[in-house]
């Protein structure tokens, strides 16, 4: 489980960046799609993502203007596109919620450990910058970082019941 905790910490700054361009656009499309009956998302799909471009059949003859098969392909493709966009939006939101929970757990930790994890994984400072900021040696930094990750891992394994942080020497 330590590897899972390290993976969560590695992606923490990215997941907390909810104001990122991709996340904002994705959530905006999802909200607009629900609000206006999918018109905005459908237009986006037709102009950028559909395999077949929709064209005007007004000037074509009756036999040349039969687009039934193509329209069925477009509508089936749109449904897959819509489901994929909604799944991505839900994943962005769930990653953000998980990142906020982990951040709150980090802030609950005792002082040197919370400072180390916060500066290292949220502010994305280098190991040398964190050690210099806290006035500790690099070896002490790495030792305390491992202890902090272990404590956070124990807290994450605790699940619903919130255990107190216990520092074992």
Weakest mean pLDDT among 19-28, 90-99, 121-130: 19-28
pTM of the entire predicted model: 0.70
**pLDDT, position 58:** 54
**pLDDT, position 151:** 94
Name the residue ranges covered by the structural domains of the chain: 17-97
Query: How is residue 85 written in tokens?
Result: 């966009």
User: What's the pLDDT tens digit per position in 25-68?
Assistant: 777 777 776 666 566 667 767 676 666 554 555 555 555 544 55
User: What's the pLDDT tens digit per position in 72-120?
Assistant: 556 667 778 778 877 887 888 888 889 999 999 999 999 999 999 999 9
- 32, with CB counted inside 10 A (0-12, 13-18, 19+), is middle
Classify each residue of 119-156 as buried b or exposed e, where b means 16 or more C-beta atoms within 10 Å of its C-beta.
bbbbeebeeeebbeebebeeeebeebbebbbebbbebb
Split at pLDDT 50, 70, 90, the class of 148 is very high
d(CA 5, CA 156) in angstroms, rounded, equals 8
d(CA 96, CA 15) in angstroms, rounded, equals 5
More confident residue, 1 or 48: 1
Split at pLDDT 50, 70, 90, the class of 145 is very high
């Amino acid at each position: 489980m330590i590897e899972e905790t390290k993976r969560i910490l590695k992606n923490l700054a990215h997941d907390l960046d909810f104001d990122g361009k991709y996340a904002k656009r994705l959530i905006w499309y999802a909200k607009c799609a629900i609000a206006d009956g999918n018109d905005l998302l459908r237009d986006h799909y037709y102009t950028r993502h559909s395999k077949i471009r929709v064209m005007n059949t007004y000037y074509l003859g009756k036999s040349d203007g039969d687009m039934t098969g193509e329209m069925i392909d477009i509508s089936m493709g749109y449904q897959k596109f819509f489901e994929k966009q909604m799944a991505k939006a839900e994943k962005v939101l769930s990653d953000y919620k998980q990142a906020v929970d982990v951040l709150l757990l980090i802030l609950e930790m005792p002082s040197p450990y919370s400072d180390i994890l916060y500066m290292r994984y949220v502010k994305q400072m280098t190991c040398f910058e964190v050690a210099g900021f806290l006035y500790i040696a690099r070896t002490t930094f790495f030792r305390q970082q491992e202890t902090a990750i272990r404590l956070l891992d124990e807290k994450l394994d605790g699940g619903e019941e919130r255990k107190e942080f216990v520092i074992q020497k």
